[in-house]
Chain A
Amino acid sequence: MARMKFLCDAERCIECNGCVTACKQENEVPWGVNRRRVVTINDGEVGAEKSISVACMHCSDAPCMAVCPVDVFYRTEEGVVLHDKDLCIGCGYCFYACPFGAPQFPQAGAFGLRGKMDKCTFCAGGPEKDLSKEEFAKYGSNRLAQGKLPACAEMCSTKALLAGDADVISDIFRQRVLKRGKGTDLWGWDTAYGKPGAPQAKPATGAKS
């Protein structure tokens, strides 16, 4: 297995916020904390509107890990970036470092005091006993330990949001783009996604999906 990743297909995302709702429900995320959100550009412009679902991208070289002064982050064997909330001091450095705005801070007191950082766990829980009440209370659901994928991706109605092994989901995305009929029209497509066996991917001639 390579690394666990999310991949959001902006051509398919319909901004339904199903992923956001699924995440909230699955992990019982508190009010004010959004582990996942849908970002829309050109909102309201017909034909130009694009949406993409964003959460922690579980970076291979995560900036949050690099800046954390108390070293609470770790990466699992599957490439999921997790953190230990017991040690988090809520300084917010990870929030400044993250290019996706993934780290969230619940309001811990009446005066806007920052609580411990909370972020997407790829539904992999955290450093507590797997599937325990403690783990759920601190980190939310541990679906990987149940042989499931993250709730957001499994709930996605248009399958715009894919989650799982990077090799597998990029294969699914590759096939999808070829079916759409604009595979090689995309700049850099072959460089980024061309397989060693079939470097020149040909666009399909059929109708768009």
Chain B
Amino acid sequence: MRAIGKLILAGAVAMAAAGLGGCGEREQVIVYKQGKYQGKPDAQPWQNDPGQSLYTSSKWNKGDKASWEAALRTRNLGQNEYTRAE
């Protein structure tokens, strides 16, 4: 009889613990894991020889990022017709 009483008590304690556990708050914000690019590597545009293509007026030194950026910046500023008209 005492054993059954203990069993019932243990069961009640377990149920109370499980019930109270439901009252707790869990973190509900999903933490997204940023994916990593799985494809092939790509070359940078300044690694190309400027003479490799036809009909281009841009000039830069092969492999020199700064000179490529300067060439592209010149081209970029050509879009401003206010300065072109001056």
Contact = CB atoms under 8 A, between A and B. Distances in A.
B77 A146 contact: no
Given A71-B37, A74-B37, A147 B76 contact: no
Contacts of B32: 66
Interface stretch (A27-35, A45-53, A159-167): A159-167
A168 to B, nearest CB: 5
A209 B35 CA distance: 47
Interface residues of A, number: 45
B50 to A, nearest CB: 6
Q: Chain B interface mostly helix, strand, loop or mixed?
A: loop
A179 B75 CA distance: 22
A169 B75 CA distance: 11
B52 to A, nearest CB: 6
A130 B48 CA distance: 8
Interface of A: 1, 65-66, 68, 70-74, 76-78, 82-84, 86-87, 124-131, 142, 144-149, 153-154, 159, 162-165, 168-169, 172, 175-176, 179
B82 A179 contact: yes
Contact of A72 (B34, B39, B68, B72): B39
B79 interface: yes
Nearest to A149: B75
A76 B37 CA distance: 12
Contact of B39 (A65, A87, A168, A175): A87
